[in-house]
Amino acid sequence: MKILHFILFILFILFFLLSACIQLKPKKIPSFPSPVLDKSIFCERIETEDNWAYPAREKAIFIKGKDKRIYSFLSFKNVKEEHFLEWKWYDPQNKIYRSSRRIKIGEEGKYFEKFIAWDNIFLFEEKESGKWKVAVFLDDKILDVIEFEIK
């Protein structure tokens, strides 16, 4: 009887140790969501170099009479297939000031490691001072809400 218990004990230990080495193949290989928002900022202007665009003079406070435009700049990683972006700019009273047209990012059947997009408004003297908001929508779902200030 002791030998049977000993054999069962050894088999249990072996099974326990070997089960740590068994790997079950996943049904589906996990992937990152597409696209991934990498950066969402405001800037004074967009500069281009080597067929790429970069935000220049990032900031969140814009001054009437000094600044001419306010850019909302987005950069994405891992863009698979096509998607649609839209910006909605809200004044300090939370009234919609401007809606952009929907723009397409990505392309059906293609993958982009990086992708950038931007929208802007002009800063005229008559723009209301205070905290403004921009809501960015990706495929009709809210992606980000960011604030800036006009003085």
Residue 53 lies in a domain: yes
* CA dihedral of 62, 124, 75, 149, whole degrees rounded to 10: 30
Q: Is residue 140 pLDDT above 80, yes or no?
A: yes
Domain containing residue 77: CATH number: 2.60.40.1930
**β-strand pairing of 141-150 with 61-62:** parallel
Each residue's pLDDT tens digit, 22-56: 555 656 655 667 899 999 999 999 999 998 999 99
Residue 127 lies in a domain: yes
Distance of alpha carbon 87 from alpha carbon 93, whole angstroms: 17
Residue 55 lies in a domain: yes
For the entire predicted model, the pTM comes to: 0.77
Residue 89 lies in a domain: yes
Residue 66 lies in a domain: yes
CB atoms under 10 Å from CB of 4, counted, come to 8
Residue 80 lies in a domain: yes
Each residue's pLDDT tens digit, 47-63: 999 989 999 999 999 99
Residue 18 lies in a domain: no
Residue 13: pLDDT band with limits 50, 70, 90: low
Q: How many domains does the chain have?
A: 1
- Is the peptide bond between 35 and the residue preceding it cis, with omega within 30 degrees of 0? yes
Q: What is the distance of C-alpha 88 from the center of its chain?
A: 16
Domain that holds residue 74: 32-150
Residue 17 lies in a domain: no
